Structure formats: C-alpha cells, structure tokens
C-alpha cells in the first residue's frame, strides 16, 4: 500500500462538512466587509518568498519546499499567501483601485515543519489582506472581522485576542529595541537553549517566541518593545485599541507577541486558545507597511491575517445527524432489469435537475439487496420498477420508514415525487 506523505492529511467526507462550514462563514463575513476573492498559484519563484518573508526567518531557512523545474528555474510551494497575493497586486496594477484594496484567498500552504498534533506540512489557510491604507481604524476593523468569523462559527468565547505593536523599521523604534534585545540576549546567552542563541544573531525578535521552559525566565525578563515605541507608533497602537473597544472587541495586550515573518510592523495580533495544546494559535496577522515596496511595488501599506483552517475545524463540534444527512439521497430508483433501467434513467436526471439527491440501481441486483442498500443509505423513498410495473406503465413508490407502497404512473412520476417532498 502506498501511504500519504508524512505531515499531509486527507479530508474525508465525514470531515468535509466542517470545512465547508468554515469556508462558507469566511466568505460571508469577508464579503460583508467588502473583501473580494483572489485565487493564486500554489507555487511561485523562490526569490519572491526569500525577499517577501525574509531570508532570516525559519520558513525561508528551513521550511520551504523548493525545487528546480525542468527548465532549471527555482520554484517554491507557497508557505504562506501574503507574498503571492502582493505579487499579484503589483503585477496586475491592482493598486490603482480605490483603497484600501481588500482581498481574500484560501487554500493549501506548504511548510517542511516537524509534524505533530495541529502541525502539518500541507495545511490550509484563509488569508485576508487590506492594502493601501494605514489608518488605525483599519487595523481594528480587520481584527474585528476576524473575531466576527469566529463568532459566526460559535467559537469566539473560546479564543483570546492578543495584540501588540512591533514598532516600525523605518523609524528608530524597532532598530533601537532590537539593539537592546540583542545586548540583553547576549548577556544571558548561557541560560538560553542552542536554538535561541543561534536565533539571537539571525532573527532576535523571534527568540521571544521560544516555548522551552528553560528559556522562559530569561525571555520573560527581556525588555519589552512597548517601552521603545516612537510617538507615531505609540499613537497608532493606542488608537487601534480605542477602535477595538468601540467595536466591542475584547483584547489583551501581549508585549512579547512577535510573529514568524520578518515583515511585520506596528500592529500584530493572534487569536489563541488553550484547547489545542502547544499549537495554540488559530489565526495571526499584522501590518506590513514596507513590504509592497520591497517587492517592487508602490509604497502602499498593508495589513492582513491568516487563519489555520485545520485548527478551526478541530475546535468545531461534530455536526449533528441532520447536518450529516444533508446530502443523503432522498430517492433510490430501483430498476429490475435493463428495460426498467433505461426507463428510470431520465427520471433520475429530471429529479436531480430539480435538486433532489437521487441514487439509481443498475438493474442487475435482486430487489432485496437493493432495498437493503437503500436502507443503509438512509433514503426516505424507494421507487421500484420491474417488468410487471413497466408493462402497466407504473412504478411502485415505497416509503422506507413505514414500508407502505403504492403504484404511481411512470408518466407523472417526476412530478409526483417532487410533490411528495418528504422527510428531509
């Protein structure tokens, strides 16, 4: 047997309903806020991610699925959606549209991470970006929309909204903070794990993310970025929080919330839960004001987030039996013989065209076996056509629950079945 690749997973029909629920809610919520869907390629030129995510990040350093195609070009399966989306924004001149340009996309992402519960090598994200507007009210609206999605799914109460400001690369605040942090980490290097020591040189802010208990005391004592924010960043963060309050979004300031991608500035946020063990982030995002320019576009600011769909699905309760039966066939057509099969096939087509889920036998099985199958599928009605019925121009309509059956003229069968409707 050939098994699936480590770290990837199938979404079986029993789970697919939850996926559809999440995707449906996302489309409804995002579109109510004026976002439009964009569909993007699953792979891009490698340099896009190297530049857009940051050479020093874990993703670029060790998690990308990169390969040369047959013409020798280096391409990479997308590890996240923002870089590709911004590439499309620039390439198609979408920046001429009224701002903010609001886009969403959804689909699989690929990262060569160590697989564990809630962490996959192919996983799925809902991704949202608002481009060309730096007002703090937009930051708050984006976060509020994310919370609204979870409210729609009945999960808002099980999540915490954490926010932080990362300051700005262009002003003095983040460089000044980084220098201070590097100094602090250097002074405490002996009490940090090997990975933290290595990261302290490569990507010092990310060190704050380490979850190892031996590192926590040092990291909890590290200087916080908040104290270093410049006046503009301080105001932007304060106003974002005021708008969040005005929108009724309860949130927690997490001074050490940093994120895995290099490009974030100012507002960053995460939705976390205590219910998924170590992989506690369900969604995360932030502002990336210099990134579009860095990728060769106009100097437009941007803000966005990504939701980890696997983790959302994991939080959702199993759908009740009604939902599971949503797409169950309502009618089972049981022809007995070739002639009957030919006669019922157009009936199936006509019913399906009217939205009825129909199952058809092939005409070569015994009636008892077909009825058994109809019972297992949970259909409400079986329609039996044997030679005797054919001769009379009739079908036998059998109510599966009661067992009652009665003849119906074949000529009017479609209309009769539609009129019956039936237990959903």
Nearer to ligand AMP by C-beta: 311 or 398? 311
- Residue 84, interface with ligand AMP (CB under 6 A)? no
Q: Does 111 bind ligand AMP (CB under 6 A)?
A: yes
Torsions phi, psi for 185 (to 5 deg):
-65, -40
Min dist. Cβ of residue 182 to ligand AMP (A): 23
Alpha helices in 221-333 (DSSP H): 231-246, 291-294, 309-315, 321-324
Answer yes or no: are the C-beta atoms of 140 and 236 closer than 8 Å.
no
- Residue closest to 263 by CA, chosen among 282, 286, 247: 286
Residue 313 makes contact with ligand AMP by CB under 6 A: no
Q: Closest approach of Cβ 125 to ligand AMP, in Å?
A: 5
Angle at 100 between CA 137 and CA 109, to 5 degrees: 100
Minimum distance, C-beta of residue 339 to ligand AMP, in the bound complex (Å): 54
**Of residues 63 and 359, the one with the C-beta less far from ligand AMP:** 63
Q: Does 284 bind ligand AMP (CB under 6 A)?
A: yes
Q: Which residue's beta carbon is nearest to the bound ligand AMP?
A: 308
Among 54, 297, 308, 361, the residue binding ligand AMP under the rule CB under 6 A is: 308
Closest separation in Å from C-beta 399 to ligand AMP: 46
Q: What is the DSSP letter of 119?
A: B
Q: Which of residues 186-245 bind ligand AMP (CB under 6 A)?
A: none
The single residue among 119, 151, 197, 202 that binds ligand AMP, judged by CB under 6 A, is: 119
What are 238's two structure tokens? 């304060």
Q: Which is nearer to ligand AMP, 111 or 236 (CB)?
A: 111
Shortest CB 45 distance to ligand AMP, Å: 19
Tell the smallest beta-carbon distance from residue 187 to ligand AMP (Å).
30
Report the 3 state secondary structure along 336-364: CCHHHHHHHHHHHHHHHHCCCCEEECCCC
- Specify the residue, 119 or 256, whose C-beta has the smaller distance to ligand AMP: 119
Question: Smallest Cα–Cα separation from 20: which of 281, 313, 283, 320?
Answer: 313
Burial 231-253, CB ≥16 within 10 A → b, else e: eebeebbeebbebbeeeebebee
Stretch that binds ligand AMP, among 87-95, 158-166, 234-242, 306-314 (CB under 6 A): 306-314
Q: Say whether residue 113 binds ligand AMP (CB under 6 A).
A: yes
Give phi and psi for 213, each to the nearest 5: -60, -35
Cβ burial 129-144 (10 Å sphere, 16+ → b, else e): bbbbbbebebbbbbbb
Per CB under 6 A, which region of 93-101, 110-118, 200-208, 412-420 contacts ligand AMP? Answer: 110-118
**Cα angle value 403/404/407 (rounded, 5°):** 130
**Is residue 306 close enough to count as binding ligand AMP by CB under 6 A?**
yes
Total number of residues that touch ligand AMP (CB under 6 A): 18
Check binding of 125 to ligand AMP (CB under 6 A).
yes
Give residues 254-283 in contact with ligand AMP (rule: CB under 6 A). 259-260, 281-283
Instruction: Tell me how far, at minimum, the Cβ of 371 lies from ligand AMP, in Å.
Output: 44
Mapping DSSP to helix (H, G, I), strand (E, B) and coil, where does residue 1 land?
coil
CA–CA gap between residue 121 and residue 114 (Å, rounded): 8
Contact 275, 289 (CB under 8 A): no
CB of 413 to ligand AMP, least distance (A): 50
Do 410 and 394 meet the contact criterion of CB atoms below 8 Å apart? yes
Question: Which of 35/228 has CB closer to ligand AMP?
Answer: 35
Bond prior to 100 in cis (omega within 30° of 0): yes
Cα diameter, the chain: 95
Sign of CA dihedral 27, 29, 30, 33: positive
Cβ 144 to ligand AMP shortest distance, Å = 18
By CB under 6 A, is residue 311 in contact with ligand AMP? Answer: yes
Instruction: Report the interface residues with ligand AMP, using CB under 6 A.
Output: 80, 111, 113, 118-120, 123, 125, 259-260, 281-284, 306, 308, 310-311
């Amino acid at each position: 047997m050939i098994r699936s690749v480590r770290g990837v997973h199938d979404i079986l029909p029993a789970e697919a309903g939850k996926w559809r629920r999440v995707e449906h809610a996302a489309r409804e919520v995002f579109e109510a806020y004026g976002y439009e869907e964009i569909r993007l390629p699953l792979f891009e030129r490698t340099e896009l991610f190297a530049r857009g995510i940051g050479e020093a990040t874990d993703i670029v350093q060790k998690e990308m699925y990169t390969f040369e195609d047959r013409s020798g070009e280096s391409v990479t399966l997308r590890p996240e959606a923002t870089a590709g989306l911004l590439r499309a924004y620039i390439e198609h001149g979408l920046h001429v549209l009224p701002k903010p340009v609001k886009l969403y996309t959804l689909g699989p992402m690929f990262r060569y991470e160590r697989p564990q519960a809630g962490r996959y090598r192919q996983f799925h994200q809902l991704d949202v970006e608002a481009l060309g507007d730096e007002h703090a009210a937009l930051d708050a609206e984006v976060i509020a929309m994310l919370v609204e999605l979870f409210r729609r799914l009945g999960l808002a109460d099980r999540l915490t909204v954490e926010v932080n400001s990362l300051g700005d690369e262009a002003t003095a605040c983040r460089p000044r903070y980084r220098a201070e942090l590097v100094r602090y980490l250097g002074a405490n290097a002996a009490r940090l794990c090997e990975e933290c020591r290595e990261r302290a040189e490569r990507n010092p802010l990310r060190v704050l993310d380490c979850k190892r208990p031996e590192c926590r005391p040092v990291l909890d004592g590290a200087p916080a970025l908040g104290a270093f924010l410049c006046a503009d960043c301080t105001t932007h963060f304060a106003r974002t929080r005021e708008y969040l309050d005005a929108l009724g979004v309860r949130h927690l300031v997490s001074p050490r919330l940093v994120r895995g991608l290099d490009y974030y500035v100012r507002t960053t946020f995460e939705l976390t839960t205590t219910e998924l063990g170590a992989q506690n982030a369900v969604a995360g995002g932030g502002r990336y004001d210099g990134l579009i320019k860095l990728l060769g576009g106009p100097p437009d600011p941007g803000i966005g987030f990504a939701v980890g769909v696997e983790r959302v699905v994991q939080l959702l309760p199993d759908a009740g039996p009604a939902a599971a039966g949503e797409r169950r066939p309502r009618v089972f057509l049981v022809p007995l013989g070739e002639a009957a099969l030919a006669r019922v096939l157009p009936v199936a087509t006509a019913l399906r065209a009217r939205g009825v889920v129909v199952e058809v036998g092939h005409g070569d099985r015994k009636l008892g076996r077909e009825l058994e199958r109809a019972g297992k599928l949970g259909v409400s009605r079986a329609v039996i056509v044997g030679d005797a019925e054919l001769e009379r121009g009739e079908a036998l309509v059998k109510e599966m629950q009661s067992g009652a059956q009665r003849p119906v003229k074949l000529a009017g069968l479609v209309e009769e079945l539609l009129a019956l409707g039936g237990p959903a």
